[in-house]
Amino acid sequence: MSPPLIFTGIACGALLAAVGLALWGSPRQVPRLPHVMRAIRWLAGACLLNGTLLAWWGDLGIPPTALSMDGSSGAERQLSRLILMAALAAPPGILGGRHSHSHSRSHWSHIALFLPALVLAGIGLLWAKAPPSADVTSPPVTPVELTILLCAGLGVRALGHCLSELVDAAPQDRAPSLDAAYALLTIVMGSTSLANLCQRGLVWRGTVTESGLAGAWLAWSAAWLGPRQPLWLRVLLTTAASISLTSVALRLT
Amino acid sequence: MIAQTPRDPWRAIWQVATSDHLAAAVLLGIAAGLIITAWLPQTPVNDPVAYARWLSRAQARFGDATPTMRTLGLFLVSRSFVFRTLLALLAGMLLLRLIEAGDRLWQNREIATPEGEWHDLPGIRLSDVMHDLHRWRHRILGKPPLVQADRWPWADMFPLLAYGGGLLFLIGLLITHLWGWQIDGLIVQSGERVTLPRTDAWVMWNETTQAVTHSPGIAMHIEEQVPGVKARAQDNTGRSLSLQQTPEVEPVAQLTLALADVQYFAIPDAQLVVRMVPPSNRPIDPVSEADNPILVQIYHSPPGRLAAETVVEQAAQLSIDDVTLELTDVPYARLTVICNPGLWPTGVGLTLLVVGLLGSIVWPVRQLWLREDMEQLQVTGDPLPTLTTGEEA
């Protein structure tokens, strides 16, 4: 088993342990549990980030890892994309400690915060076991691709925030990650479209990535209009936007 | 008996047309269409060869579901009536929102009537809050005991820019669709000035400097460089032999061929036919052109028997019987030429849209009122910046 898979496995285990702790602590009202869960999320985030870096190291082909030796390097590249997104979505917010709202959350709400990251990391593990798909292309990561991956990670994070609100049935302010993902996506969309317009005379060349990216950006625009809408609709829009962006990030060509 | 105020239907229509729900639905519809185009190969138009290739690939990939998917219009999303209706709806919505945002910008010059419920702010003094609001670049209108704080004019200006930019962008795309044109796969020889069909526009490409020049009003880019040859033939006395590419055209002493595809020509006087096969139709890397040899096959005609076969990299001289065939390397480029009359509206619209959206994210509209009532400070409207958490757990 390759090091990226080991780190992803540890992260998945840690997040599953956090789910278990929440289930155990829910009826007992353990006061320190939110702190423990935050620590677990930091640990999972660090493991996933480590896994991403190691997967990239393998991608660059400097020393081929055991996984790429047995012919599944395509799957490993997809894994690196999935776990980068999960690494951005798993850790708690940097500002979280300054405010009291995280302590007023229910345990289920805490689970909802990192559930999307757990799902992504889990899919990553399953993906790594699957035979490499011929139609999935994974060239080296360019700045635009990396930015789209960052957007997708932040989008998954915003989805966790939204799900947490739904669990608590308590609408809060718009998640900073939603704003960040939308701003970053707008910059990527705007700059690539303007570059195309200057160089080629057309906004879109009609590539798969461009169409997908434009679609994901419009879905995020719909989600960004969300704060004035009912909570269920906001969650629905954020879920649709997040899924579309994640699928585009995985299908980058 | 309670007298009911008659409901203004125009106001109701306006409210529905400018609602976030409709905007979200339209945006999601267009997003779904675009994502489908990313996942499903779309039908090529005006190119029978590409259409045949697409059809065979689609049938191989989707099998029996292909006819159903075609009936549903999944392979022609961007040209479907529903997609175009959604784009038209978006344009109409942006126009209404633009008018609304302009009106709001104008109305918000002056102090407005407080809206919503008042909330107490115990232990906070109005002077302290006003000082903070000044520091956070809020505009303060009115005098104690009732003041209004907002971010006019920029916070109200950014949505205006976004809606105006979006509308201009869509107008630009419409102009491009109606009056623009595109020529794909135009083969141009280095140094040759080519006039485009049915226009006065021309393009020229220089292989040495890799520079492309063209008449004003069009844009072009190189898709790929393709190999080409200049062919001449002579007999053993040094007499030039004529070359003929098809029976319909006059024989010429010298023939220039772009090897974007397999090419044939005949040397009628010597009863020979030459077949030239480019390197597997892949893009040619100009740096390593020598690694992309051209296969040359020469047949006796009649009887169609292969007389010679060789690969040539650049210039070459081939001898068969009494005939010498001289091939000289001539580089070609395959170009895409675009005339986009909607370039400026699209570009300006896109820039305004991006600036407006980023501005709205960083500096959103905020309007609140503060009043001192019996030494107690109260607030209504948007939350005070100090009270917003900005926290993400």
pLDDT digits 0-9 by tens, B27-57: 999 999 998 988 888 888 777 888 888 889 8
Is residue B323 a contact partner of residue B272, using CB atoms and an 8 Å limit?
Answer: yes
Q: Are the Cβ atoms of B358 and A248 closer than 8 angstroms?
A: no
User: Could you please report the per-residue DSSP string of B252-288?
Assistant: BSEEEEETTS-EEEEEGGGTEEEEEE-STTPPB-STT
Radius of gyration of chain A (CA): 19
Calculate how close chain B gets to A189, using CA atoms only, in Å: 9
Under an 8 A CB cutoff, do B27 and A222 touch?
yes
Examine the pLDDT at A134 and tell me if it is beyond 70: no
Instruction: Write down the pTM of the prediction.
Output: 0.82
Domain assignment of residue B200, yes or no? no
- Position B322 scores a pLDDT of 85
- Average pLDDT estimate for B93-103: 95
The closest of B346, B221, B182, B358 to A194, measured between CA atoms, is B346
d(CA A146, CA A153) in angstroms, rounded, equals 10
Cα–Cα distance for residue pair B41/B51, rounded to 1 Å:
11
Range of the domain at B251: 226-334
> Quick one: pLDDT at residue A141?
67
Residues of A in contact with B384 (CB under 8 A): none
pLDDT at A76 over 80: no
Residues above pLDDT 70, as percent of chain B = 93
pLDDT category of residue A98 using cuts at 50, 70 and 90: very low
**Residues of chain B with a CB closer than 8 angstroms to some CB in chain A:** 20-21, 23-25, 27-28, 30-35, 37-39, 173, 176, 182, 218-221, 336, 338-340, 343, 346-347, 350-351, 353-354, 357-358, 361-362, 388-393
Work out the angle at residue A210's Cα, subtended by the Cα atoms of residues A208 and A212, and round it to the nearest 5 degrees: 65
Nearest to A95 among B37, B173, B390 (CB): B390
For residue A136, pLDDT beyond 50: no
Query: Which residues contact residue A238 at a Cβ distance below 8 angstroms, ignoring those fewer than 6 apart?
Result: A155, A158, A159, A162, A178, A223, A226
Distance CA B355, CA B70 (A): 39
Contact B79, B46 (CB under 8 A): no
CB A54 within 8 A of CB A4: yes
Examine the pLDDT at B350 and tell me if it is beyond 90: yes
The residues in A 153-182 lying below 8 A from B, measured between CB atoms, are 157, 161, 164, 172-173, 175-177, 179, 182
List residues bridging with B276 in a β-sheet.
B263, B296
Residue by residue, what is the 3-state secondary structure of B13-34? HHHHHCCHHHHHHHHHHHHHHH
ipTM: 0.84
Residues of chain B contacting residue A209, judged by C-beta atoms under 8 Å apart: 38
Q: Grade residue B389 by pLDDT with cuts at 50, 70 and 90.
A: very low
Residues 29-68 of A with CB under 8 A from B: none
Among the partner residues A186, A194, A233, nearest to B347 by beta-carbon distance? A194
pLDDT in tens, B137-171: 899 998 888 999 999 999 999 999 999 999 999 99
Report how far residue A110's alpha carbon sits from residue A42's, in angstroms, rounded to the nearest whole number.
13
Q: Which two tokens stand for residue B59?
A: 């049938």
Contact B23 A240 (CB under 8 A): no
A-B CB pairs within 8 A amount to 146
The b/e string for B205-217 (b: 16+ C-beta within 10 A; e otherwise) is bebeeeebebeee
Counting the structural domains of chain B, the total is: 1
> Which has more confidence, B223 or B291?
B223
- In this complex, do A99 and B20 lie within 8 Å of one another by their Cβ atoms? no
pLDDT, position A154: 92
pLDDT tens-digit profile of A45-71?
999 998 888 877 765 443 344 344 344
Cβ separation A228–B350 shorter than 8 A: no
Q: Is residue B24 part of a domain?
A: no
Please report, in angstroms and rounded to a whole number, the separation of the first and last CA atoms in chain B.
53
For B249-269, what is the mean pLDDT? 87
C-alpha torsion angle, residues A207, A213, A215, A220 (rounded to 10): -170
The answer to whether the Cβ–Cβ distance between A251 and B34 falls below 8 Å is no
Helix (H, G, I), strand (E, B) or coil at A151: helix
Cross-strand partners of B226: B332
Residue pLDDT, tens place only, A185-226: 999 999 999 999 998 888 987 788 888 889 999 999 998 886
Query: Within a domain: residue B300?
Result: yes
Q: Which two tokens stand for residue B118?
A: 């008042």
pLDDT at B107: 92
CA B370 to chain centre: 48
Collapsing DSSP to helix, strand or coil, A207 comes out as coil
> Cα separations (Å) of B189 from B12, B213, B236, B244?
63, 13, 31, 20
How high is the pLDDT of residue A93? 72
- What tokens does A249 get? 């990030």
Average pLDDT over residues B283-307: 70
Report the alpha-carbon distance of residue A19 to residue B259 in Å, rounded.
Answer: 63
Query: Which region, left, alpha or beta, applies to residue B365 given φ > 0 means left and ψ of -120 to 50 means alpha?
Result: beta
Q: Which residues of A2-25 are buried (b: 16+ CB within 10 A; e: fewer)?
A: bbbbebbbbbbebbeebbebbeeb
In terms of DSSP bridges, do strands B146-150 and B367-373 run parallel, antiparallel, or are they unpaired? antiparallel
Output the pLDDT for position A2: 77
Shortest alpha-carbon distance between residue B76 and chain A (Å): 13
